[in-house]
Amino acid sequence: MRKTITCLSRRLSLLLLSSLIIGYHANASSHREAPLISHDPLADNTDVYAFRSPDDTSTVTIIANFIPLQLPEGGPNYYNFGPNVRYEIHIKNKATTSGDDITYRFTFSQVNEDPTTFFNIRLGKQNLKTTYTVQKSMDGGMSFTTILTNGIVPPPNIGPRSIDSAGIGLGTSYNNLMQAAIATATSSEKIFCGQVDDPFFVDIGGASDLGNFRPTYNANNNNTVAPPKDGLSRVNVHSIALKIPINMLQKDGKMTSQATSILDGDFVIGVWASASRPQIRTRDANTGMTNYSGDYVQVSRLGMPLTNEVVIPIGMKDKWNTVKTNSPAEAQFSMFFKNPELALYMDDSQLGSAVPALNALRIQSHSLGSTPGTGFDFRNGKPGLFPLKGTPALNGTALSEAAFGAYLLPDAMSPRAVDLLPIFMTGVPNLPPYQLATGKPANNPLAAGKPFINNFLPTFGDMLRLNMAVPVTPRNDPKFSSLGLVQAAVLGLTDATYGSTAIQFIPNMDGFPNGRRLEDDVTTIELQAVGGVVLAAIGLYYDDYNPNGGSGVTQNLLNVLSFNAGPQQNDTTFRVSFPYEQTPWRGFDYTMQPKF
């Protein structure tokens, strides 16, 4: 009897241990934004980028970054990709299929070339030398084909003796190491995996202090008490970068020369990245070695930037990371886009006075109405455009019941289902009212206007959506802007060059949220979007607009457009060729960095 009880006790203990381990991993993107994944940095997504390659516009570059906040001098045990992590990049190009249409899976291995030293590099050998394998699936992950083996991950950029010195070190430049690490898969994609400068820029300290952003000085923000600080300045990250021919990503194998227009919806892709770990982790009491077993479970994911950081509340962040994009479970998070918390701090009837840094951002409370209580109210819990639901005025628009009205106008208390929800979860179609106010009759945002976006992929899920038919804005174009699609809208509304209602390329139409370029200031763009700037761009003007005659470019709109979240560019340059991200900061002299 005692033996039976002892065995039962051991089984229960093992079951409890397994449950704790499973819970730790399965309920664990961006920079430490979820509680559990912050304890597992090797599996933590930081950012996803997708853009037409500026030096080779027949291709698209997709970048997924992992392992946040790496100090360059973090020796003797430097960061590297985890050998017990599946890193995956997921691509959707069809709305008629379930799951991924293309999946790239990366797995990493390490070899200790010289176990007799505590140095990471000595006498031309590395500790630990990392290689990787890439597999590709075209059937939703049912089967995978190996397209690259023994890919090279450059070592950390430790310092001049370790990297540059002949004999004692590797005897080469770090730029040479990066160039040599660019591989070509058997299916023709170019691939780079390795450490780089973190290209994201954001005032983490200010944002985390109850939204205490520190915008750079402007006429509408003259009481800034401290300069903004890029919390990611001079830190590194690990990057997986793919350069893929567009015809391999387009659902029918077409190149952009075959597109019907620069907004052809057949060229829209959705991109997200994830990291998965084995279900069970145990540690050997004698050797200290960790063993992994069981099925792989997703512990981290990322599509649109800052979603889990600033949209999903802290009690749901770990759960968010376990849910696969394009799964029915994702619908449970839609409430946070329909009434986002950040909007409360842009509403003086709620918590607007609590965050002075956001004073320039105020959501429309009576758009197109001459007095409060009239027009359309987009503050949290208000009806937004719902009073129009089911009326003939919506015929021919995306808001009609015959189109997407059930989704975009679900009830009288979800005002941002009309703009933020599609921006984050479906993309935006080239249909009224989602066209610029340019060419629309006064006070009629439902009319046809100037097309400027179509990244609509009607598969509900958190993906970075890119219309690959949209031309590239050259990085040296005087109209190039880190404000992406917001700046394209400004040009389309104010520059006579773009005054017609015809489809034409406006600089920065290839910017976030139509994909994401390395240069895009996504923090400012997303805060402006929460502040209603997209609504104003399509003709739902701010409250100081005079519906009896006046311009939509009002002081409230100028306040929103002049707002910035602090850092507006990366702390170093970008490379002009793949992988475009800059060499990692050096541990020995991290205030200096070669630029190529």
pLDDT digits (tens, 9 = 90+) for 399-427: 999 999 999 999 999 999 999 999 999 99
pLDDT in the model for residue 591 = 60
Q: Which residues pair with 133 in a beta bridge?
A: 107
Digit-coded pLDDT (tens) for 374-400: 999 999 999 999 999 999 999 999 999
Mean of the per-residue pLDDT values for the chain?
Answer: 90
Find, among 292, 251, 296, 291, the residue nearest to 274 by Cα: 296
Residue 24 has pLDDT above 60, yes or no: no
CB-neighbour burial class of residue 428 (10 A; exposed 0-12, middle 13-18, buried 19+): buried
Structural domain boundaries in the chain: 2-74+85-106+133-152+171-303
Q: How far apart are CA 298 and CA 550, in angstroms?
A: 52
pLDDT in the model for residue 594 = 55
Exposed e or buried b per residue across 343-357, where buried means at least 16 C-beta atoms within 10 angstroms of its C-beta: bbbbbeeebbeebeb
3-state secondary structure (DSSP) of residue 48: strand
Digit-coded pLDDT (tens) for 457-510: 999 999 999 999 999 999 999 999 999 999 999 999 999 999 999 999 999 999
Q: Give the confidence band of 595 by pLDDT, cuts at 50, 70, 90.
A: low
Q: How far apart are CA 360 and CA 542, in angstroms?
A: 12
pTM of the model: 0.92
pLDDT in the model for residue 17 = 37
Q: How far apart are CA 506 and CA 498, in angstroms?
A: 7
Joined together, the tokens standing for residue 532 give: 């209603």
Q: Give the confidence band of 225 by pLDDT, cuts at 50, 70, 90.
A: low
* Radius of gyration for the alpha carbons in the chain, expressed in angstroms and rounded: 25
The residue with greater pLDDT, 107 or 443, is 107
Residue 251, C-beta contacts closer than 8 angstroms, at least 6 positions apart: 93, 94, 101, 266
Joined together, the tokens standing for residue 452 give: 């400027």
Q: How far apart are CA 220 and CA 359, in angstroms?
A: 9
Q: Which residue has the tokens 């050997």?
A: 284
Q: How far apart are CA 525 and CA 485, in angstroms?
A: 9
Residue 223 has pLDDT above 70, yes or no: no
Digit-coded pLDDT (tens) for 45-70: 999 999 999 999 999 999 999 999 99
Residue 580: which region, alpha, beta or left (left: phi > 0; alpha: psi -120 to 50)? left
Digit-coded pLDDT (tens) for 288-347: 788 888 999 999 999 999 888 888 888 888 898 889 888 888 899 999 999 999 999 999
Residue type, 376: F
Residue 16 has pLDDT above 50, yes or no: no
Residue 361 has pLDDT above 70, yes or no: yes
Region 31-49 average pLDDT: 86
In order of 62, 90, 340, 452, the CA distances from 465 in angstroms are 11, 12, 21, 15
